[in-house]
Amino acid sequence: MTRQVYVNGRYLPYHQAGVHVEDRGFQFADAVYEVCEVHNSQIIDFPRHLARLRHSLDELDIVLSVGDGALRHIMRETVRRNRVRFGSVYLQVSRGKAKRDFPFPTPQGPATLVCLARASQPERIAALAATGISIITEPDPRWQRCDIKTVMLLPAVLAKQRAMTAGAHEVWFVDNDGQVTEGASSTAWIVASDKTVITRPLSQRILPGVTRATVLDQLNADGFSLQERAFSVADAETAREAFQTSASGTVLPVVKINGRAIGDGVPGPLTLTLRQRFHKYAAVT
């Protein structure tokens, strides 16, 4: 089966798909994106991803003349054409192509819209969840508008590379006050000794994680004790449990932080419950 990619109104074979060399996404990272989980051929939490995409576009004044229903159709159709049962669907919108110049082009041309779907190896993610992952912490080098999901991902690329070299799976970034902001591509969570689940409140310093929102629904519905507050690296290293959330991994247990075992050094029971029951609370499209 040849993979197909959606580019500006057409579904093209993977090897023929491309955008212009002067696309502003390519030259300036002047583009935003979403990654949704595909579970049993369905797109998980599409309305929340769509709302976040609209927020990112609005904050950057990127005009996308494709409506919500059409976006939903494009994403579903890309998943269907690529026969993805478990994996992800990626949508990217850039300010379009224009002669290289920093300010927005006038008049603004059409935005570039690209959609790709990819199958994952569920057994690989299941194995990670069964053993738990190691993470390291590093100063957060990013800009002050991390609430916008832009493709300006070099800090995350470099952090992930350092994590890999260190034998870890993820980096949790830390602000100037020693408080964890979030993972390079995930939301950070800990469980305190009294079983209170803690995650940093939303602000412009972190991405409003879609999985985060659904896990909050889950925690509230199931009556867990919950605090949206900043926590330090020391809080994390001495936590009862730790985990991270993202569309690509849902809920992943963290068993080691900076080389120190968390709790008993195995995935925590609360984390595993959240992981097992996550899709009961997520919306399907």
The site that binds ligand PDD (CB under 6 A) totals a number of residues, namely 14
Considering the complex, what minimum distance in angstroms separates the CB of residue 281 from ligand PDD? 13
Q: What residues from 243 to 282 belong to the interface with ligand PDD (CB under 6 A)? A: 245-248
- Choice from 5, 19, 35, 98 touching ligand PDD (CB under 6 A): 35
**Which is closer to ligand PDD, CB of 111 or CB of 180?**
180
Q: Which stretch binds ligand PDD (CB under 6 A): 125-133, 179-187, 233-241, 275-283?
A: 179-187
Is 195 assigned a catalytic role? no
Q: Which stretch binds ligand PDD (CB under 6 A): 161-169, 184-192, 225-233, 270-278?
A: 184-192
Distance CA(254)–CA(242), nearest Å, equals 5
Q: Is 167 in contact with 132 (CB distance < 8 Å)?
A: no
**Does residue 212 touch ligand PDD according to CB under 6 A?**
yes
What is the SS3 string spanning 133-175? EEEEEEECCCCCCCCCCECCCHHHHHHHHHHHHCCCCEEEEEC
Q: Considering the candidates 97, 99, 149, 160, report the single residue annotated as catalytic.
A: 149
Distance CA(130)–CA(255), nearest Å, equals 11
- 227's enclosing H/E stretch is strand 226-228
Its sign, for the CA torsion 250, 142, 30, 16, is negative
Gyration radius of the chain over CA positions: 19
Distance CA(228)–CA(202), nearest Å, equals 8
**Does residue 182 touch ligand PDD according to CB under 6 A?**
yes
**Which is closer to ligand PDD, CB of 79 or CB of 98?**
79
**Does residue 186 touch ligand PDD according to CB under 6 A?**
yes
**Does residue 199 touch ligand PDD according to CB under 6 A?**
no
Q: Is 281 in contact with 218 (CB distance < 8 Å)?
A: yes
* Torsions phi, psi for 120 (to 5 deg): -105, 180
Q: Which stretch binds ligand PDD (CB under 6 A): 53-61, 107-115, 117-125, 204-212?
A: 204-212
- Choice from 210, 216, 251, 274 touching ligand PDD (CB under 6 A): 210
Cβ within 8 Å of residue 127, ≥6 positions away: none
Point out the residues that are catalytic. Answer: 149
Using CB under 6 A as the criterion, which residues of the chain lie in contact with ligand PDD when the complex forms? 35, 182, 185-187, 207, 209-212, 245-248
